[in-house]
Amino acid sequence: MRENGAEEYIPENAPPLNEEQAIANLTSPDTGLRYYAAWWLGKFRVNSKAAVDGLIAALEDEADRTELGGYPLRRNAARALGKLGDTQAVDGLIKCLSSSDFYVREASAQSLEMLRASDAAPSLMQLLSGGVAAAVQVPGRPHLVQPYEAILEALGAIGAKEAISLIQPFLEHPLPRVQCAAARAMYQLTLDASYGDRLVKALDSDDLKLRRVALSDLGAIGYIAAADAIAQAKVENSFKLIALKGLLEHQLPSLDVSLSEDTIRLMNLMDALL
């Protein structure tokens, strides 16, 4: 449990927490309590200064280690900081991109994406060095040498156009999930429909998990041409609704919306999935 990259961890006998207690628990002598507190602060989006400062400090925790040398508390702190939306965390998260722990690097890349941290581009690009040839599985571990999906997605989300030539080769990576992440980033950086269409094509894959990945990518980039393909994809309605919501929001620049033909068409598709 502690070694994998599971997003959320809910202890069976978790103590009920409040904000103050959770922040205090980040430095508890009990590393289990620290780990849970970091998750809890992200889950309940506690973005007070004390919470953010406590989590940033937890990015350098040395006490909580796994058998394989991982840093569970750092992973949870990095995940939480992405959810809190405070850009104070950016410097600490960029440092974490060079952590020895794969899951710390992955969580940090994901959170830098959520924080739209354009300052992270050089460090993210560094992790792509060696290109596709270097992007291989770590022997005996369930992951590649770097968290390529998270890195590619982050570079796309922060608009790192300087990374295009590094990202493009990953369209041919042997793993379809990595190809999808590259297509998603390439679309965001170039707005070239051929990259959106690659993701639409992935909706026809035999692999349900990959179809879900492609749906979420299409939602994230708001690729409007995919609307009907999303509505018809062989995936659970909940995933399709979220993807169509992504498309819809992309068409709505602000809360003060005026409806267009496209937005109405999207909502009709969503209504039919309820």
Token representation of residue 274: 């309820």
Task: Assess 238 for contact with other proteins (CB under 8 A).
Answer: yes
Task: Assess 245 for contact with other proteins (CB under 8 A).
Answer: yes
Q: What gap in Å lies between CA 125 and CA 111, rounded to an integer?
A: 16
Task: Assess 165 for contact with other proteins (CB under 8 A).
Answer: no
Token representation of residue 1: 């449990």
Task: Assess 10 for contact with other proteins (CB under 8 A).
Answer: no
Contact window for other proteins (CB under 8 A) among 12-20, 76-84, 109-117, 247-255: 247-255
CA angle 116, 118, 123 (to 5 degrees): 115
Q: Which is nearer to other proteins, 45 or 141 (CB)?
A: 45
Q: What gap in Å lies between CA 208 and CA 213, rounded to an integer?
A: 9
Pick one of 102, 218, 263, 269: the residue that binds other proteins (CB under 8 A).
Answer: 263
CB of residue 44 to other proteins, shortest distance in Å: 12
Give yes or no for a contact between 223 and 196, defined as CB atoms under 8 angstroms apart: yes
Task: Assess 264 for contact with other proteins (CB under 8 A).
Answer: yes
Pick one of 254, 261, 262, 269: the residue that binds other proteins (CB under 8 A).
Answer: 254
Task: Assess 13 for contact with other proteins (CB under 8 A).
Answer: no
Q: Which is nearer to other proteins, 213 or 248 (CB)?
A: 248
Token representation of residue 156: 């796309």
CB of residue 236 to other proteins, shortest distance in Å: 7
Contact window for other proteins (CB under 8 A) among 10-18, 55-63, 109-117, 239-247: 239-247
DSSP string, 133-165: HH--BPTTSSSBSS-HHHHHHHHHHTT-GGGHH
**Can you say whether the dihedral through the CA atoms of 31, 62, 7, 142 is positive or negative?**
negative
Give yes or no for a contact between 186 and 167, defined as CB atoms under 8 angstroms apart: yes
Contact window for other proteins (CB under 8 A) among 17-25, 90-98, 184-192, 254-262: 254-262
Task: Assess 209 for contact with other proteins (CB under 8 A).
Answer: no
Helix, strand, coil % over all residues of the chain, rounded to 5: 65, 0, 35
* Positions that interact with other proteins (CB under 8 A): 234, 236-238, 241-242, 245, 248-249, 252, 254-255, 257, 259, 263-264, 267, 270-271, 274
